[in-house]
C-alpha cells in the first residue's frame, strides 16, 4: 500500500513532526485526509498511552508541552471522532493550513491527488500575543 508523507511545519519551513500514512486510494477529499490522519494519531496514542500526544489538534483536558505535544492524564483515552471534529473545525477557522504537493488547499471538499511521492504539509498557526 502506498505511503503518504505528512509533515507538520512552521511558517518558516521548519519540520516539527513527520509521519507516514498508508493510503489505499490516490484521490481523497481534504476532509478525508484530515480524518485519516487524526484517526491514525489517536489510534497510535491510545495503543501506547505514553502521556504525550503528538497530534494535529489539542485534545480536551490536556496541557501543551514545550515540544508541541499535548500531555494527558495517565491512562486517558482520546476520542477519535471528537478529535476529527475539532480538526475539521480548526481547518475551517484557519487554525492551520494544508498544502498538498506544495499547493494550498482551500476547502474540505476539495479532492487532492495522493499517489506515489505525494506530500501533505500542515502549517499550524500561532496566535500573536497582544494582537
Examine the pLDDT at 33 and tell me if it is beyond 90: yes
82/37 Cα distance (integer angstroms)? 13
> pLDDT tens digit string along 59-75?
766 666 655 666 666 66
Separation of CA 40 from chain center: 10
Average pLDDT over residues 37-50: 88
pLDDT at 73: 63
103/123 Cα distance (integer angstroms)? 12
Examine the pLDDT at 127 and tell me if it is beyond 80: no
> pLDDT tens digit string along 75-96?
678 889 999 999 999 999 999 9
Q: Tell me the pLDDT band of 39, cut-offs 50, 70 and 90.
A: very high
Q: Which stretches does DSSP call E strand in the chain?
A: 3-9, 15-22, 27-29, 52-53, 63-64, 70-71, 96-100, 103-104, 111-113, 119-124
Examine the pLDDT at 120 and tell me if it is beyond 80: yes
pLDDT at 52: 76
Q: Tell me the pLDDT band of 27, cut-offs 50, 70 and 90.
A: very high
Reported pTM: 0.84
Separation of CA 17 from chain center: 10
pLDDT at 84: 95
Amino acid at each position: 500500500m502506498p505511503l503518504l508523507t505528512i509533515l507538520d511545519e512552521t511558517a518558516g519551513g521548519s519540520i516539527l513532526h513527520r509521519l507516514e500514512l498508508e493510503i489505499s486510494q490516490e484521490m481523497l477529499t481534504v476532509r478525508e485526509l484530515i480524518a485519516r490522519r487524526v484517526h491514525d494519531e489517536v489510534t497510535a496514542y491510545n495503543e501506547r498511552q505514553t502521556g504525550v500526544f503528538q497530534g494535529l489538534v489539542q485534545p480536551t483536558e490536556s496541557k501543551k508541552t514545550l515540544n508541541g505535544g499535548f500531555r494527558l492524564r495517565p491512562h486517558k483515552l482520546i476520542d477519535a471522532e471528537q478529535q476529527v471534529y475539532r480538526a475539521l473545525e480548526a481547518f475551517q477557522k484557519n487554525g492551520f493550513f494544508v498544502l498538498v504537493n506544495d499547493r494550498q488547499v482551500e476547502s474540505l471538499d476539495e479532492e487532492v491527488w495522493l499517489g506515489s511521492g505525494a506530500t501533505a504539509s500542515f502549517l499550524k498557526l500561532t496566535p500573536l500575543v497582544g494582537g
